[in-house]
Amino acid sequence: MSQENVELARRSLEVFAAGDWRTTLELVDPEVESIETPGLGPDAAVYRGIEEARGAVESWTAMSTDYAFEVRDYLDAGDQVVVLVKERGRGLSTGVSVERELGQVFTVRAGKVGRVRLYGSWTEALQAAGLEK
């Protein structure tokens, strides 16, 4: 089941990034929780449901130009999957280039993504999933 969870996380990120909402709805629980840890961004909060999660991502990416993210790794953590991401962009108002590492912990419930928690570093995400002390 764990490899299936990794594949679910991979696929859901791919279709989400591509803006394929129809497929996203098939892979993600309609009541999904997207949680941005405090200090991660200006609107860090808990977002419930697909539309709130979508709005949060759109708000996040609208703050920069040339926004891109690259998944570096998917790590099996049982019913969770840790996703290590690098993101980059240029601040919309400042023009300053930014690149940083983010960690995401996907929790799978009943074969769908039930929760995604975003962390400001790979280490934080790994610790949250119990993969690192």
**CATH classification of the domain holding 34:** 3.10.450.50
Residue 26 lies in a domain: yes
Residue 48 lies in a domain: yes
Q: Where are the alpha helices (DSSP H) in 46-103?
A: 50-61
Residue 51 lies in a domain: yes
Q: What's the angle, vertex CA 25, arms to CA 19 and CA 36, rounded to 5?
A: 75
Residue 89 lies in a domain: yes
Question: 88 is in which domain, residue-wise?
Answer: 2-128
Residue 88 lies in a domain: yes
- The whole-number average pLDDT for the span 122-133 is 91
Residue 133 lies in a domain: no
* pLDDT of 51 higher than 90: no
Per the structure, how many domains does the chain have? 1
pLDDT at 110: 92
* pLDDT of 19 higher than 90: no
pLDDT band (50, 70, 90) for residue 43: low
Q: Which comes out higher in pLDDT, residue 19 or 116?
A: 116
* Whole-number Cα distances in Å, 91 to 54, 61, 121: 20, 10, 20
Q: What pairs with residue 77 in β-bridges?
A: 80
* pLDDT of 22 higher than 60: yes
